[in-house]
Each structure stands twice: as structure tokens, then as C-alpha cells.
Structure 1
Amino acid sequence: MKKTFFASDFHLGTEGRLSSRERERLIVRWLDGIAPEAESLYLVGDVFDYWFEYSKVVPRGFIRLLGKLAELSDGGLPIYFFTGNHDMWMFRYLEEELGIPVYREPIRLEIGGKKFFIGHGDGLGPGDHGYKFIKAVFSNPICQWLFAR
């Protein structure tokens, strides 16, 4: 039986115990390992610590991960990308170049007879009004259009 996989918060682009490139290589190795048994893959936010697409430019780096995602997507594995608070400025690159749909809001769905509410989780629940205001500004299509020029 094939499996559904979920992953988030890689924060590629930041340095920590392991360098960003070392973490990226580990993630690619993990993707290679799960590919034979994967029915679908959900990347649930903050895969990148900072991602901002301009109209004709994407952030440099992450080529190993992007190449692996393209390979898996081209091979028929459904991959779903949810933006988080660190990669909310993702526009059409993943969809147009890799065939990976990008979700900006949580969704509800059923997988294997079980109900799921899938999303990054930032801004959910009561409180944190300052963050919710900033998120509304940053995710506003007009603001994003202006920022991306």
C-alpha cells in the first residue's frame, strides 16, 4: 500500500547545526528513499526560510531540491506545496515549472478514509493580531504585485 508523506519547516537558506546545503542533500536523500512507496507528498510550509519571486527571477540556490521535486512530479508523484510564513511570496514558479500546485490557505480533504486539515498553521487560532495584520498585508495581491516589480 502506498503512503502519503508530509514535511515542513526545512527553512532552507538558514544556517544551523547543519548548513543549508547539507540539509538540502539530506532532504533529497529522504525524497529518494520515500519515492518508491509514495502516493503523494505534501510540503506544508517554510520549506525555504525566505522565498520571494520577482516577475522574472526566483531566489538562487536550492537547485538540488527543486531538481528532485521536478523529477518526482514529472514521474507522476502528486506534490502539493503550502506556503508558510517564510515562503508566502511564492507565485507561479513551482506551478509553471514543476507542475506543483501552491496553496496559500489550509484545505480539508480525505486521505485513506481519514479527514485532514492541511496547512502550515501560522496565523490560525485567536490572538497574535500583529502577525495576522502583517500577513494580510504581505499576502495581499496588490502588495505582492508591487513588491515583485
Structure 2
Amino acid sequence: MISIHTSENKKVYFASDQHFGAPTSDASFPREQKFVAWLNEVQKDAAAVFILGDLFDFWFEYKTVVPKGFVRVLGKLAELKDSGIPIYFFVGNHDLWMRDYFEKELNIPVYHSPQEFKINNKLFLIGHGDGLGPGDKGYKRMKKVFTFPLFKWLFRWLHPDLGMRLGQYMSVKNKLISGDEDAKFLGEDNEWLVQYCKRKLETKHYDFFVFGHRHLPLKIQLKENSTYINTGDWIQYFTYAAFENDELTLKEYRKSS
């Protein structure tokens, strides 16, 4: 378990579901500029930054090739990391084929499953959120196929121009493959991530659960001293979570790009 201790006036930030590249690179470019502007602001007081998956709408790493574009956001993340701000990256269902590019080039650790963090003596369970909890069986089956080593090996034999075009098409068009859900609150009993968190609390206490994936900014009190936060997205809501003085709050970034 990683422990993070923040000094006075420092915050820990969480953001997810930027989906850069969707529906096209040109269309997502203003959102990338807005996200970089947000990173510029949080750089002033960040003790750590968590990127909770689906930073890209599609990402695949060949041995010597990575997707073209996203230079501004990658450069800014590198700048933050080089300045001494820890950054933690969790893969989502759209960038689940990430390997070691972030770790080698940006010195940013990459996680493929939820992880425990202790921040100022508060216990967090943090992840992207896809495939957790009951239901969503179609996506869970597809994820097993996509993460199977043989499938990844076969896909890598496609020329990058063809592979990237095919991956981007599937990411946008096929909702079963992408794992996307309608961004409407379904009620606590039908929200799979809420049910997942409640089941985790049956065996261990967590002060905060922080996930993305649902594209909905949500803050739900699970127990008197346990809270679930969903960070929303950077397509419609431009929301993020900030932890300060032992409180975790949802915020909207309003500055225009």
C-alpha cells in the first residue's frame, strides 16, 4: 500500500474519462487544451494527481510505436512528474492495452486493477471501475478476450495504421466492446459500482472509494464514515475530485479553453 502525506494547503486530485481522440482528434483537441489548463492550475498545490482511466479513447502500444497525437497532455504530465508531483495512472476500458510506455517515458506507474492508498490516514480504494460489481456480463466476457495474451499478440501483427483505425472504430461504435453505459443515474441498487463498494465494506473499512467509468459526477454516502465518489468526465461535465483537510469533494472546472 502506498501512503501519501500532504502538507498544509496541498491537495490530492482525481480525474478520469477524458477520452482524447473521440469522436475525432480535431473534435477532442479543445478538450485536451482545457485539461492541460486544469493541470497547469493544479500544479500550484498538488501533492499528487490520479488519472483514473480512459485518458484516451483508444490506446495500443506496439513494441516501437504508440498512437500519434496527445503531445500537449503527455508533455504536461511529464512536466508535473519531473517537478516532483507524484502521478498515478489507472487504465480504463478504452486504454486497457497500455503496457510500459508511461512507466518508461514519463516515470508514471500504471495500474490495471483497483489499488489501496492511504492518504493522511484515510484509506482509499481507487480504480477506473469497469467490470466491477454484479452485472455487465457481456463486457466482462469481452474484456477477458481483449486482455488474453494471444489476442494482443495477434492484434500487434496488424500494421499500426490499420490497427489504430480498427481500434478507434470499435472504441466509438461498439458499446459492448467499449463497456460504455448510458450516463444516467440508475439508483443505488442498480449502480454496479455502488454495489461493489458496499460488498467491499462487508470485509474491510474504506474511508473513500474513488472511481471513474460512469461518466457521472457522483458522491454517495455508503456508511456514516465511508463515501463513494465518481469523478465524472471531461466530455460533458469537466469534473474532478479534490482531497484536502481530510475531505473529498467534487468540483467542476469552469475555465474556458
Q: Deviations over 1:23-50 (max 9, x none)?
A: 1111111000000100100000111111
Partners of 1:33 and 1:53 lie apart in 2 by 30
Q: Residue 122 of structure 1 aligns with which residue?
A: 130
- More strand per residue: 2
How far the C-alpha of 1:90 sits from its partner, in A, is 0.6
| 1:131 pairs with 2:131 | no
1:67 corresponds, among 65, 75, 90, to 75
SS in structure 1 of the partner of residue 43 of structure 2: helix
How far the C-alpha of 1:116 sits from its partner, in A, is 1.0
Unaligned runs of 5+ in 1: none
From the CA coordinates, give the structure whose radius of gyration is larger: 2
Q: CA RMSD in A?
A: 1.5
Q: Residue 61 of structure 2 aligns with which residue?
A: 53
Q: Residue 108 of structure 1 aligns with which residue?
A: 116
Q: Residue 88 of structure 2 aligns with which residue?
A: 80
1:30 corresponds, among 20, 30, 38, to 38
Letter in 1 for 2:52: V
Q: Residue 221 of structure 2 aligns with which residue?
A: none
Q: Residue 106 of structure 2 aligns with which residue?
A: 98
Partners of 2:149 and 2:11 lie apart in 1 by 35
Q: Residue 40 of structure 1 aligns with which residue?
A: 48
Q: How does 1:15-26 map to 2 (within 5 A)?
A: 15=23, 19-26=27-34
1:7 corresponds, among 12, 15, 21, to 15
Question: Hey, which bits of structure 1, 4+ residues long, moved more than 6 A?
Answer: none
Unaligned runs of 5+ in 2: 1-7, 158-257
Partners of 2:15 and 2:56 lie apart in 1 by 12
**TM, length-normalised to structure 1:** 0.93
Partners of 2:141 and 2:18 lie apart in 1 by 25
Matched residues, percent identical? Answer: 55
